[in-house]
Amino acid sequence: MKSSNKALGLTVAGILAAGLSVGVNAVPNQPTEWEKCAGIAKAGANDCGALDGSHGCAGKSKADNLPNEWLYVPAGTCEKITGGEVKAVKPAKS
């Protein structure tokens, strides 16, 4: 009985150690640049004014994935999102 408890304890310890090492490596670095990515914002979840000037505030998008509504995403991400189109790039704040 004692040997099975020891084996179980070692197994659990190994799983926890593996999980902790994966968690540390899974955190991405802080982006150095952001892209203004149009066509991916959900209704009411855009980052700022519409590209066509129809409104000037965040959260005003009326439907999902409109081509004039945008979100900031880390540089290199927009092209990976279906429907995303890079409209501008800006440096991240230090």
Instruction: Kindly list the domain boundaries of the chain, sorted by start residue.
Output: 33-91
Q: How far is CA 81 from the centre of its chain?
A: 11
Q: Where are the alpha helices (DSSP H) in the chain?
A: 2-25
CB atoms within 10 A of CB 66: 20
Task: Note if the pTM is more than 0.75.
Answer: no
Per-residue pLDDT 10s for the chain (94 aa) are: 466 666 666 666 666 666 555 555 677 788 899 999 999 999 999 999 999 999 999 999 999 999 999 999 999 999 999 999 999 998 888 6
**Cα Rg of the chain, angstroms:** 22
Structure token pair of residue 1 = 């009985």
Measure the CA–CA gap between 50 and 43, rounded to whole angstroms. Answer: 12
